[in-house]
Structure 1
Amino acid sequence: MTKMLLQLASLILLWGSVAAHMLMSYPPSLRYVHNPHTDPGNADSSLTSPLSPSGSDFPCHGSLHLLGTAEGAPVASWAAGASYNFTISGGAPHNGGSCQASFSFDGGKTFTVVHSYVGNCPSPAGGDSSFPFRVPADAPASDAAVFAWTWFNNLGNREMYMNCAVVKVSSSSSRGASEPLPFASRPKIFEANIGNGCTTQDSANLLFLSPGPDVDVNDQHAVPATGTCETATASSGGAGGDNSGESSGSSTGGNSGATPTALAVEPTNGVAGMSAGGGGDSGPTGGTDDENSTEYIPGNFFPQGYSLGSRAVETAAVALAVAVLVDFVLLA
């Protein structure tokens, strides 16, 4: 009886630990168990968890110290001006949310947005979802660029998720091609829910006030974050601000103003830009064969075929497990 009670208690704890978990499986993140350069003894079981509410592990779950080491070797080779995909895996997408893809060419000091996805990122259905982006033609060449995926979930606790992978970026013949915005003038990644005074709204998709020139708008009713949020970008010509200002036709003001007219953008790819089980153009399609199995790997992702649905479903499952445990205690 005692053994059964311990097993039930472990099940409840396991459920709680994976209920909010999503992860960038391609390109494989730093310290990801399926990253070919990861030392198995150094794998990070928290990659599927949100960043600390204090921001103490921002950016990249504190893994950038691996840059320049064997574990920080590139996992993909991309060319400036070319298009690729990144893949998000997991079973608890919290009704999706809004994401950004970005690059850092200074070791993680700054991250520059190359694509924003407003709504449906990741797929609300869970499982694997693949998102297209393009490396700007004027992006710097680097043997150790940091590619980052950041996610602000729709349902649940107000959180910020972030996974980072090291990639090689090479120049191409299209480097001199005209870009809608110079790389150096693209916006920084949006930061919220990490102790910086900026908070996203629950049960809503985040509207990025500075999405950059490449954006998929899958939710015309998305809402901006509240609080002191950085909104300055050259893409809209604004000077940045916080919640106290107005934003009329630019991102000059803060979140309490009207939605900037610069964000009245038609979806460029929309939901059609996502495909189940897709991987990066130059890498594996969603990872290794282990990801197609039905075995749960602790701290990484739920297997394909599991879809936890909404927070209500997750809560009901936990409540049922607790009720069963209580019954066993009473019968004992």
Structure 2
Amino acid sequence: MFFAKTTISAALVAAVNAHMKMATPAPFDPEHLNNSPLDASGSDFPCKFGVGYSATGGTTNTYELGSSQQLSFIGSAVHGGGSCQVVMTYDNPPTKDSKWKVIHSIEGGCPAKGTEGNLAENPDAKSPFSYPFKVPSDIPSGKGVIGFTWFNRIGNREMYMNCGPLELTGSGGDKANFDKLPDMVVLNIAGKPTTPEGVDYKFANPGSSVEDNTGKYGVATCGKDGCQNGGTGGGSGGSAPPSSSAPAGGNGGGGGARARAAVD
């Protein structure tokens, strides 16, 4: 019995140490950015800002309005994928009260496609998966903050969020167009509703820029008031490169604490 507990604990620690963090866009102060999810209390929302980490340092992401960019990651604990959003605000530094808007949604298969559990454990590995997104062409130029959010498909009910400094260049657009973009979805922290486990997440208002990788699992549609189960996906995300899955917790369909230990 002692051996079993030790094995589960080791798997849990490995998964925690290998959580995903944003590689591109470049994050604030990457040397001090840890790869854990947001605290369940919401104390480090947004962007994991808290003790020892803030909106300082790092390479500014200078993007031309209308340009194509890539979202990519470091780490291996992909928790069977899930759904992500690329978000931005003109506040720098942002606060809990900042207005975050969605410029791209990835429904299912983020931060990994076709992966039942986790990739081979390596917290410093560059993920084989990346996700193209386009900067809107009709919003104002200027400085702000860009980030990604992620709701994992299996494991503990969590929300991940990393951010980096942003400067948008070009002729600029209308602030009204920024205001019309969807609001960022916030779940699983600070008393917000929780996402169901084992399904992909579609967003109630994903915006006009969407990558749909749903289809293999059931889906739940999620918005600010929570998630509603039902239906199947209709993915168009294409095939994924080969990947390995975790030795336990791979199917995301219950399985108890032992099955989830490797993906928490």
Q: What is the TM-score of this pair, normalised by structure 2?
A: 0.73
Q: 1:122 to 1:258 in 2, by over 3 A?
A: closer
Question: What one-letter code is carried by the residue in structure 1 that aligns with 2:221?
Answer: P
User: 2: CA distance between counterparts of 1:159 and 1:133?
Assistant: 24
Question: What one-letter code is carried by the residue in structure 1 that aligns with 2:37?
Answer: P
Over residues 77-106 of structure 1, what are the superposed CA-to-partner deviations in whole Å (9 max), with x where a residue is unaligned? 110011111112321211100000011112
Same amino acid, percent of matched pairs: 32
2:90 to 105, 119, 123: 105
Count of residues in Structure 1 that have an aligned counterpart in Structure 2: 232
Contact 1:200–1:224 (Cα < 8 Å) also in 2: no
Richer in strand (by share)? 2
Contact 1:90–1:128 (Cα < 8 Å) also in 2: no
Match of 1:147 in 2: 146
Displacement after TM superposition at 1:23 (Å): 1.2
2:38 to 47, 51, 54: 51
1:271 to 238, 243, 248: 238
For residue 167 of structure 2, give the secondary structure of its aligned residue in structure 1: strand
User: 1: CA distance between counterparts of 2:160 and 2:241?
Assistant: 21
User: 2: CA distance between counterparts of 1:318 and 1:140?
Assistant: 45
For residue 128 of structure 1, give the secondary structure of its aligned residue in structure 2: strand
User: 2: CA distance between counterparts of 1:82 and 1:195?
Assistant: 34
Question: What one-letter code is carried by the residue in structure 2 that aligns with 1:54?
Answer: S
Question: What one-letter code is carried by the residue in structure 1 that aligns with 2:21?
Answer: L
Over residues 256-280 of structure 1, what are the superposed CA-to-partner deviations in whole Å (9 max), with x where a residue is unaligned? 5988xxxx9975x6236x779xxxx
Q: 1:190 to 1:317 in 2, by over 3 A?
A: closer
For residue 182 of structure 1, give the secondary structure of its aligned residue in structure 2: helix
Is 1:182 matched with 2:181? no
Contact 1:94–1:309 (Cα < 8 Å) also in 2: no
Contact 1:111–1:189 (Cα < 8 Å) also in 2: yes
Match of 2:205 in 1: 210
Q: What is the TM-score of this pair, normalised by structure 1?
A: 0.59
Consecutive unaligned residues of structure 2, counting only runs of 5 or more, are: 1-6, 120-126, 252-256
User: 1: CA distance between counterparts of 2:9 and 2:82?
Assistant: 29
Displacement after TM superposition at 1:188 (Å): 1.1
Q: 1:121 to 1:79 in 2, by over 3 A?
A: same
For residue 201 of structure 1, give the secondary structure of its aligned residue in structure 2: coil
Q: 1:217 to 1:10 in 2, by over 3 A?
A: closer
Match of 1:36 in 2: none
Displacement after TM superposition at 1:141 (Å): 1.4
Match of 1:32 in 2: 30
Contact 1:78–1:170 (Cα < 8 Å) also in 2: yes
Larger of the two Rg values belongs to structure: 1
Over residues 149-201 of structure 1, what are the superposed CA-to-partner deviations in whole Å (9 max), with x where a residue is unaligned? 100000111100111111221024xx569xxx932201111100002331100
User: 2: CA distance between counterparts of 1:317 and 1:99?
Assistant: 21
Contact 2:80–2:250 (Cα < 8 Å) also in 1: no
Question: What one-letter code is carried by the residue in structure 2 that aligns with 1:55?
Answer: G
Is 1:115 matched with 2:115? no
Question: What one-letter code is carried by the residue in structure 1 that aligns with 2:130?
Answer: S
Contact 1:95–1:310 (Cα < 8 Å) also in 2: no
Displacement after TM superposition at 1:129 (Å): 1.3
Match of 2:122 in 1: none
Moved more, 8-17 or 119-128: 8-17
Q: 1:133 to 1:156 in 2, by over 3 A?
A: same
Moved more, 106-115 or 124-133: 124-133
Consecutive unaligned residues of structure 1, counting only runs of 5 or more, are: 1-7, 34-42, 231-241, 244-254, 277-304, 320-332
Is 1:157 matched with 2:156? yes
Match of 1:238 in 2: none
For residue 188 of structure 1, give the secondary structure of its aligned residue in structure 2: coil
Over residues 51-91 of structure 1, what are the superposed CA-to-partner deviations in whole Å (9 max), with x where a residue is unaligned? 01111111000169844x5x1551x2110011111112321
1:311 to 249, 253, 257: 249
Matches within 5 A, 1:277-292: none
RMSD value over aligned CA atoms? Answer: 3.7
Displacement after TM superposition at 1:14 (Å): 4.1
